[in-house]
Structure 1
């Protein structure tokens, strides 16, 4: 599990699920794996890094013993997708103290702004091995 970064996402969030589907579509190198925070693998990893899987407040990218969260996680995901998405990594020049408050505001309001899923989406058959 540690050879590929794992993206932990809130599967009940419409925005988060859309982002997960975007990653599966645009990750041509098949670098990332995904795990819903509400699933067994995702919940275990969340607890390992101090996140309550029943009330997630961030997206997390786990790579080995390291975890990125908030805007660092989002930027790492897009930088890892390759061209043209990796250009978003340039936002790292913006100090985290400015990036993270915006990220946290969206995270706190994500259900109100984007909605909540009533059921989980299923990956395409060719991507099923990438969803844990």
Structure 2
């Protein structure tokens, strides 16, 4: 793989807004992709993993999820953001980061920009909205 990839949930408005913020404000060489449009097999990722946490697949083959993936994305940026990424990897911060990340992930539909669909597992979202994220004819 020639470049690192940061994968997020493109069906979640909150996740998408966070990724858009990162694309605008965090200079990185990594690609930011919604997992629904990523070649998960090529990246070595499973849909279930991507549905529960953001994922990092490094150009060097390294992998990370959740706040560890965010730390890797920040670490691939400018000095200011690298310091933030190092802070996120600092053991006491990391210890707190995972429970906070899981809480945010479970409540992302309540976050600014979130929608009710964000709270549903991918399978339920596809049943309701189809694979494109748009309501199906029978919903």
Q: What TM-score does the superposition give when structure 1 sets the normalisation length?
A: 0.70
Q: Any stretches of 5+ residues in structure 2 without a counterpart?
A: 118-128, 134-139
The alignment status of 1:110 with 2:105, answered yes or no, reads no
CA distance in 1, matches of 2:33, 2:42: 9
Q: Residues 53 and 105 of structure 2 are in contact (CA less than 8 Å); yes or no, is this contact kept in structure 1? A: yes
Correspondence list, 1:1-132, <5 A:
2-28=1-27, 30-41=28-39, 43-44=40-41, 48-52=44-48, 56-64=51-59, 65-89=61-85, 90-95=87-92, 96-114=94-112, 115-116=114-115
Greater share of helix residues, 1 or 2? 2
- How far did residue 61 of structure 1 move? 0.8
Higher RCO structure, 1 or 2 (CA under 8 Å, sep 6+): 1
Q: Residues 3 and 63 of structure 1 are in contact (CA less than 8 Å); yes or no, is this contact kept in structure 2? A: no
Per the alignment, do residues 113 and 24 of structure 1 end up closer, same or farther by CA in structure 2, a change over 3 Å counting? closer
What SS does the corresponding residue of 2:79 show, helix, strand or coil?
coil
How many residues of Structure 1 are paired with residues of Structure 2 in the alignment?
Answer: 115
What SS does the corresponding residue of 1:84 show, helix, strand or coil?
helix
Q: Residues 58 and 69 of structure 1 are in contact (CA less than 8 Å); yes or no, is this contact kept in structure 2? A: yes
CA distance in 1, matches of 2:42, 2:68: 18
What SS does the corresponding residue of 1:3 show, helix, strand or coil?
coil
Q: Residues 26 and 81 of structure 1 are in contact (CA less than 8 Å); yes or no, is this contact kept in structure 2? A: no
Per the alignment, do residues 57 and 17 of structure 1 end up closer, same or farther by CA in structure 2, a change over 3 Å counting? same
Bigger Cα Rg: 2
CA distance in 2, matches of 1:51, 1:67: 15
